[in-house]
Structure 1
Amino acid sequence: MKRTPSGEALTKLMLDLFRLNSLALTAGDRLVARLGLTSARWQVLGAIVAAERSQPVAWLARDLGANRQNVQRIINDLERDGLVTFTANPHHKRAQLVVLTDKGKRAFKSAMDLQAPWVDDLADGIAIRDLEVVHRVMLTLRKKLERKADADE
């Protein structure tokens, strides 16, 4: 199948993004393993921290661009380990709100303390403007994919 030059370049970029994602998840797993976390658990904790207020699982999954069932499984594991708890949702009886416990807050802070020197080392030698361009391209592609997904629903 013939692609446009832009389509060919984007295909190569996406293949490299898949590989980068895999490497980043593996590195993240190694980085936070001694904290009893995985990249997936760390990512969910980060979504909870980033939310302006407590949210139900479905909203956290939406914010992560992830499958609700997968996020629910991870949150159940986090609850079992005492990192999150559930509270009543005044707007929906069945969709409880997910809240970080003090233990969860400490675990997330510890993960971020490990992440700072790691990411600084990784970013060393890459121009900030190049990182900003890549970020803008990724946001543009994400928005296009989100619009297409919304149109397909």
Structure 2
Amino acid sequence: MHGLTPDGQLLNDITVEIFAVNGRFLRTGDAVSGKVGLTSARWQVMGLLTNGPAPVAHLARERGLRRQAVQQTVGRLEAEGMVEVGPNPRDRRAPLVQLTARGKQALEDLDPIERRWIEGLAEPFSHEDLDATLRVLRALRGQLDEQLRAAGEDGGTA
């Protein structure tokens, strides 16, 4: 991209790296989660359900994904007995997705594998670098969420 300010060019370079890192996270996440029969997509959805049941739209918004993609993942997880879908007392149109005992066990089995993977990735970085990265990414997420709201979208339900 031409004509950017130095900060704009730096953010452009960061964006390119985020896309590249995301792809690699998904591929290595597939290998890590595959050890317990999951994929990165299924792991992402199931991980959000550790805080309790949630509607598909909420899961999609949290991950910045399209509702249809999350619905398909939930359907696969339900067919495998990892989640169950039930009524939502607050909104009959938005059923709640929750982990089953089998889903909870899969995440429990994955936990030590994930811990080793994450600790290995974190090892070469200082705490300060990781903290600064997290702050910047959260701020960028907030700006992007605001842009989506201003455009009439809510970050994952389209």
Q: TM-score range by the shorter chain?
A: over 0.9
Equivalent runs, 1:7-46 vs 2, <5 Å: 7-46=8-47
Name the CA distance, whole Å, in 2 between partners of 1:58 and 1:125: 37
Aligned position for 2:129: 130
Aligned position for 2:58: 59
Aligned position for 1:88: 87
Name the CA distance, whole Å, in 2 between partners of 1:93 and 1:123: 43
Tell me: higher relative CO, structure 1 or 2? Use CA pairs within 8 A at least 6 residues apart.
2
Structure 1 stretches of 4+ with a deviation exceeding 3 A read none
Q: 1:89: Cα distance to partner?
A: 1.1
- Structure 1 residue identity aligned to 2:34: A
Larger helix fraction of residues: 1
Q: 1:82: Cα distance to partner?
A: 0.1
Name the CA distance, whole Å, in 1 between partners of 2:35 and 2:5: 46
Deviation readout 1:83-131 (Å, 9 max, x if unpaired): 0001111122232111110000011111222110111111112101100
3-state SS, counterpart of residue 86 of structure 1: strand
Deviation readout 1:11-55 (Å, 9 max, x if unpaired): 0111011111111110010111131100110000011113xx421
Unaligned runs of 5+ in 2: 153-158
Q: Does 1:70 align with 2:69?
A: yes
**Alignment check: 8 A CA contact 1:42 1:111 kept:** no
Aligned position for 2:156: none
- Structure 2 residue identity aligned to 1:145: L
Name the CA distance, whole Å, in 2 between partners of 1:71 and 1:115: 22
Name the CA distance, whole Å, in 2 between partners of 1:90 and 1:54: 12
Unaligned runs of 5+ in 1: none
Percentage identity across paired residues of the two chains:
37
Over the aligned positions, Cα root-mean-square deviation in angstroms equals 1.0
Q: Does 1:121 align with 2:120?
A: yes
Name the CA distance, whole Å, in 2 between partners of 1:150 and 1:92: 22
Query: TM-score scaled to structure 1, two decimals?
Result: 0.94
